[in-house]
Amino acid sequence: MPLDYTTLDLLRKNHPAWRLLRSDHAPLVASFLHRVFIAPNVRTMAQADLAEALEDELFVLRDRYGEEAFPRSAAAYLNDWADNEKGWLRKFYPAGSDEPHFDLTPATEKAIAWLESLTERAFVGTESRLLTLFELLRQMSEGSQTDPETRISELHKRRDEIDAEIARILDGDIPLLDATALKDRFQQFLQLARELLTDFREVEHNFRTLDRRVRERIALWEGAKGTLLEEIMGERDAIADSDQGKSFRAFWDFLMSQTRQEELSHLLEQVLDLEPIAEMHPDARLRRVHYDWLEAGEHTQRTVARLSQQLRRFLDDQAWLENRRIMDILHDIEARALAVRDAPPSKDFMELAENAPRIELSFERPLHTPPVKPVIAEVPLESGEADVDTAALY
């Protein structure tokens, strides 16, 4: 992407991550979402739970900075952050639930990750990254080599290096990494582990974007149904066979191996018990970071499976509605909705008599009260005599 003036100006105006960094409430949004989503590796959260956590956060901030600093309710802030104008949260209804849930958007996670990168590190290690780059180049070179003689020669060379290392160890020469090298590599591991968790949300977002494009094509399709199905199925296969789909499938197959999980657990325990690493006071969750990867990957797998299932039902509904008149009406409604989705009208375009149902409970009605019948006594009036001071009348 070119970093010219026009591109950066568009990003400043339209990209959710840049809008977050420009917001007056950026410290609240970034700190709160990092605490409830990123730090504990929470993928989704119900609205009631998230609003309760935000209300507690707002209570502390209002006590410190005053009520006028954050005058709105937690629910209002959450809905504002999930609005298309902000795009910092994704609000959705999971299957089988009538309560909205929230999740971070990839743009928000990128903004928070950039803020984390601004903090100063104890030291900047370069050796581990250089070795990583060298190893990646070697893997690409060997993996693309088609000459058998060259491959065999490289394997023989590697075998000779291993034999020489074994001989040195048998002679008592055991090379060890010093504290600086261990900390350098551990920092590299922390960075890659965090980036891997961040990538899962972007993978899910890309799959949902592809799924939405397919649904738009179905809504606007005017040709034969067989051609539509052929194109859609081809695109679904293209999603699975894309670079992103292949990479995710390879990652999933690797991590699902029980042997690999046990190896990762053993390596993490061994590394975190090293004295130079323990002095860095790493997060206790690192001991189960591979399970966090597994949980995040499983969530992505469920998302892709659910999208495929919903798409099949969507296609079945299209096959069921063969009545041409109904199809034309639905097509017109969907086409108009898609046309105004990115540019909604600024003024009122429809009026509703009632925007919510009127609820009148039976127990709210008053109980029947029988009328009171006055009793009039028939007492005859008799004339009497009395001395009255008439001065009181004047």
**pLDDT tens digits, 173-199:** 888 888 888 888 888 888 888 888 888
The identity of residue 354, as a single letter, is: E
Write down the pLDDT at residue 80. Answer: 94
| 313 pLDDT higher than 70 | no
Rg (CA), the chain: 35
| Beta carbons of 259 and 353 less than 8 angstroms apart | no
Beta carbons of 69 and 77 less than 8 angstroms apart: no
Integer Cα distance of 272 and 284 in angstroms:
9
Provide, rounded to the nearest whole percent, the portion of the chain with pLDDT above 90.
22
Segments of the chain assigned to CATH 1.10.10: 5-117
Condensed to tens digits (0 to 9), the pLDDT of residues 64-111 reads 998 888 999 999 999 999 998 899 999 998 877 889 999 999 999 999
Q: For the chain, percent helix, then strand, then coil, each to nearest 5?
A: 65, 5, 30
* Least confident piece of the model among 33-37, 222-226, 278-282, 330-334: 222-226
The CA distance from 251 to 199, in Å, is 12
Average pLDDT over residues 275-285: 86
| Max avg pLDDT among 111-115, 142-146, 191-195, 370-374 | 111-115
CATH architecture of the domain formed by 5-117: Orthogonal Bundle (1.10)
How much of the chain exceeds pLDDT 70, in percent?
84
What does the alpha-carbon distance between residue 321 and residue 306 come to, in Å, rounded to a whole number? 23
| Residue 324 binned pLDDT confidence (cut-offs 50, 70, 90) | low
Q: Six-digit token pair at 154?
A: 């490289």
pTM of the model as a whole: 0.65
Instruction: Name the band, by pLDDT with cuts 50, 70 and 90, for residue 37.
Output: very high
Report the pLDDT value the prediction gives residue 124, as an integer from 0 to 100.
Answer: 67
